[in-house]
Structure 1
Amino acid sequence: MTDYHYREGLGTDATSPLFVVFHGTGGDENQFFDLASQVLPGARVVAPRGNVSEGGALRYFRRTAEGVYDMDDLRLRTGQMIDFVRARKAEGEADQVVGLGYSNGANILAAVQFAAPELFDATVLMHPLIPFTPPKLDLTGKRVLITAGQRDPICPPATTQALNDFYAANGADTSLFWHPGGHELRQEELLEVQLFLARGTLALG
């Protein structure tokens, strides 16, 4: 059973967007819970808690070293997260499902999208690291924003660019935003996230 925080948006109804946010390694379900309501006002927010501990730091799946995933565990956790998101979606009639993740949270979100591409309408992947080749997918109509640091020691820029190119080659409407720093989140990055999500909301209207 996945622990999570949940919040109804102000003035929402059953069709309001469902916004699922995933924390980074060492974070928890509180990391982006309040931010979610700021960048996508009115959404129903769900923030699942990673249930894998790495030296006390919460994660969504195991790894054997930096950038080296336990692929069997990743498959297991990805399936569990797909079931979790589908269950939350079934609780309403959301007109779109949006995902946002940072670092390890971005990685599990991308893995979910690779395995169940129909589940999310829009995704924000902040500083993702996908050190494997995803399967060919049909991502037509999906919107994806990837944000990254040009000097990120954890997520090599070439790997980030390759992920963006993968999404574009498989039909997604992609945006790639760089800041000049490393693995940290920056204010201009969060502003880009807000603008990306606002464009999607306006398109629905």
Structure 2
Amino acid sequence: MSDAQTAFFPGESDKAPVLMLHGTGGDETDLLPIASFLAPDSPKLGIRGRIHENGANRYFKHTDDGGFDLDNLSTETDWLLSTIVTESAKHGIDPKQLLVLGFSNGANVAAYAWLHKKAPFKTAILLHPMMLDPQASAANLNGVATFLTHGDVDPIVSSANFTGLRRQLTDAGAAVEAYTGHQSHQLTRAELSAAKTWLDKTGRLVLSH
């Protein structure tokens, strides 16, 4: 799509391709070092959020009072999912085989896409996500597996919010594993190592046919 800023890094065809969704202020290559650590041989696709808020790239807007603009979130999630399909076709990737790697804002939109849209991907590592819409979801996430991380002193994502998101995903049928570290809203080697262990354990890096 003409308004999508993306980056693609080829990899082995028998490994699950990684979709990189950055945090606030990041871009399409921001998570490449983490993706390379978690899935060194996989193809990697990054898509930049097209919202610019206070000079920072994002996947959706806030309202004037600092809340989430749920109408914009819905629109931008549709755009992101359409872009995923377009870019996947361009690079010979099956969207159903994508391993989503999202941090903060990117993790948020991925979880929302699962719960409130028909997202094609079945696997995700969501680093410091939060629940954006507390309404119950009618999604069927059977076959979905996700690894979530949280910091117990995170000033952005409360423990109650994180627990709510985990419950939403579990109630929808997803297989959810969570990691909580004594940390704020930043990434640590320990949580990334835990995510890599989860990937190895689930076998989700090897393409299924």
Q: Does TM, scored on the shorter chain, surpass 0.5?
A: yes
Name the amino acid aligned to 2:44.
V
More moved, 167-176 vs 190-199: 190-199
Q: CA separation of 1:204/1:28 partners in 2, compared to 1, >3 Å: closer, same or farther?
A: closer
Bigger CA drift: 49-58 or 115-124?
Answer: 115-124
2:131 aligned partner, one-letter code: I
* Offset at residue 67 of structure 1 (A): 6.2
Query: Once structures 1 and 2 are overlaid, which stretch shifts more, 171-180 or 85-94?
Result: 85-94
CA RMSD in angstroms, aligned pairs only: 2.0
> CA shift at 1:117, angstroms?
4.2
Counterparts in 2 of 1:156-171, with a 5 A limit? Answer: 156-171=158-173
**Aligned match of 1:144:** 146
Matches within 5 A, 1:69-80: 69-80=68-79
Partners of 1:202 and 1:71 lie apart in 2 by 31
- Percent identical pairs in the alignment equals 28
1:7 pairs, out of 6, 9, 12, with 9
Q: Contact (CA 8 Å) 1:16, 1:93: kept in 2 or not?
A: no
Shift of 1:202: 6.2
Q: Give 3-state SS (helix, strand or coil) of 2:203's partner.
A: helix
Cα distance between partner residues in 2 of 1:67 and 1:148: 22
Q: Which amino acid aligns with 1:96?
A: Q
**Whole-Å Cα distance in 1 between the matches of residues 111 and 62 of structure 2?**
16
Unpaired stretches in structure 2, ≥5 consecutive residues: none
Contact 2:15 2:206 (8 Å CA) reproduced: no
Show the 5 A alignment for 1:1-205.
1-9=3-11, 12-13=12-13, 15-64=14-63, 68-90=67-89, 91-94=91-94, 96-132=97-133, 133-201=135-203, 204=206
One-letter amino acid of the structure 2 residue matched with residue 105 of structure 1? G
Aligned partner of 2:124: which letter? T
| Structure 1 residue runs without a partner (length 5+) | none
Q: CA-to-partner distance for each residue in 1:63-115, whole Å, 9 max, x for gaps?
A: 12686111111111000001111123334254721111111111111122224
Partner amino acid, structure 1, of 2:140: D
Contact 1:67 1:131 (C-alpha < 8 Å) held by counterparts: no
CA contact (8 A) 1:103 1:129 kept: yes
Per-residue deviation, 1:163: 0.9
Deviations 1:113-158 (A, max 9, x none): 2244451110111111223225221111110111000011100011
Whether the 8 Å contact between 2:61 and 2:69 is mirrored in structure 1 is yes
Query: 2: CA distance between counterparts of 1:66 and 1:123?
Result: 31
Shift of 1:41: 2.5
**Equivalent position SS for 2:107:** helix
Q: 1:102 to 1:66 in 2, by over 3 A?
A: farther
Paired AA for residue 37 in structure 1: S
Instruction: Find the residue that maps to 1:77 and give its secondary structure.
Output: helix
Q: Structure 1 residue 186: deviation in Å?
A: 1.0
Following the alignment from structure 1 to structure 2, what is the Cα–Cα distance between the partners of residues 177 and 61? Answer: 26
TM-score normalised to the size of structure 2? 0.88
Contact residue 24 and residue 105 of structure 1 kept, 8 A = yes
Q: Is the 8 A contact 2:24 2:104 kept in 1?
A: yes
